[in-house]
Structure 1
Amino acid sequence: MNLYTRCNSCKKDIRIKSSAPTRPELQMEKGEEFQVNCQNCGKIEKKHINDIKAEPNNKIILVGIGIGVLVTIILWNYFGAIGTVSVAIPILLWQQQMSATKTFNSYMIRRK
């Protein structure tokens, strides 16, 4: 999952580098408010933890599709049509990414 916020001056997305799966873990890592630097306009802004949004990481989903196709081809040669069950690999990765994104975006921290 990718974390981002929007710059108030140029309205471009600012990517947040963190591997925190939930908002409370991001808060423990970065604090309740932290500074972000817009790479487009160069402005430094202070953002609250609730201003951070998550979106699914499409690279992980594409890797899952690649692995699913490869495993399907290999299993098709050995087991026949039952090998198509491995099509579930990209579906499971997509479902995990969507669930993590929904969990992150739905939980908000109380503002002080």
Structure 2
Amino acid sequence: MNLYTVCRSCKESNNLKFEAITRPDLQMQIGSEFDFKCAKCGNSEKVHINDVSAEPNKKIMRIGLIIGIVLAIFLFYFYGAIAMVSIIIPFLFWQVEIQSIRSFNGYMIRRK
């Protein structure tokens, strides 16, 4: 999952380099507020942690799709049509990614 915030002056979304599974984990890493400089317009501002959102990581989705297809072809060669069940692997990657995004975006930290 990728974390991003929207600049208040130019309204463009900017990816953040922080990595956290939940919002409290992110708060423990960077605090309740952090300094942010927009990559598009150069505006510097303090951003509250609730203004950070998550979006799906397309790289993880592609890896899951490739693993699923390769495994389906490999198992189809040895076990036949029953191996087509392995095509479920990309959907499992997608489901885990969506659940982690929902849990991150659904939990907010109390503002002081």
TM range (shorter): over 0.9
Deviating 4+ runs (over 3 angstroms): none
Which amino acid letter does the alignment assign opposite residue 100 of structure 2?
Answer: A
Pairs aligned (count):
112
Q: In structure 2, what is the equivalent of residue 36 of structure 1?
A: 36
Q: In structure 2, what is the equivalent of residue 60 of structure 1?
A: 60
In the TM superposition, what is the alpha-carbon distance from 1:45 to its structure 2 partner? Answer: 1.3
Any idea what the Cα deviations from partners look like across 1:67-95, whole Å, max 9, x if unmatched? 10011000000000011111111000000
Q: In structure 2, what is the equivalent of residue 3 of structure 1?
A: 3
In the TM superposition, what is the alpha-carbon distance from 1:19 to its structure 2 partner? Answer: 1.6
* Structure-2 separation of matches of 1:55 and 1:87: 24
In the TM superposition, what is the alpha-carbon distance from 1:16 to its structure 2 partner? Answer: 1.2
In the TM superposition, what is the alpha-carbon distance from 1:104 to its structure 2 partner? Answer: 0.2
In the TM superposition, what is the alpha-carbon distance from 1:46 to its structure 2 partner? Answer: 0.6
Which amino acid letter does the alignment assign opposite residue 101 of structure 1?
Answer: I
Which amino acid letter does the alignment assign opposite residue 104 of structure 2?
Answer: F
In the TM superposition, what is the alpha-carbon distance from 1:12 to its structure 2 partner? Answer: 0.7
**Secondary structure, in 3 states, of the residue corresponding to 1:8?**
coil
Which amino acid letter does the alignment assign opposite residue 81 of structure 2?
Answer: A
Which amino acid letter does the alignment assign opposite residue 17 of structure 1?
Answer: K
Q: Under a length normalisation based on structure 1, what TM-score does the superposition of the two structures give?
A: 0.97
Q: Which sections of structure 1, spanning at least 5 residues, go unmatched?
A: none
Which amino acid letter does the alignment assign opposite residue 102 of structure 1?
Answer: R
Question: What fraction of aligned residue pairs are identical, expressed as a percent?
Answer: 52
Which amino acid letter does the alignment assign opposite residue 32 of structure 1?
Answer: S
Q: Under a length normalisation based on structure 2, what TM-score does the superposition of the two structures give?
A: 0.97
Q: In structure 2, what is the equivalent of residue 104 of structure 1?
A: 104
In the TM superposition, what is the alpha-carbon distance from 1:63 to its structure 2 partner? Answer: 0.9
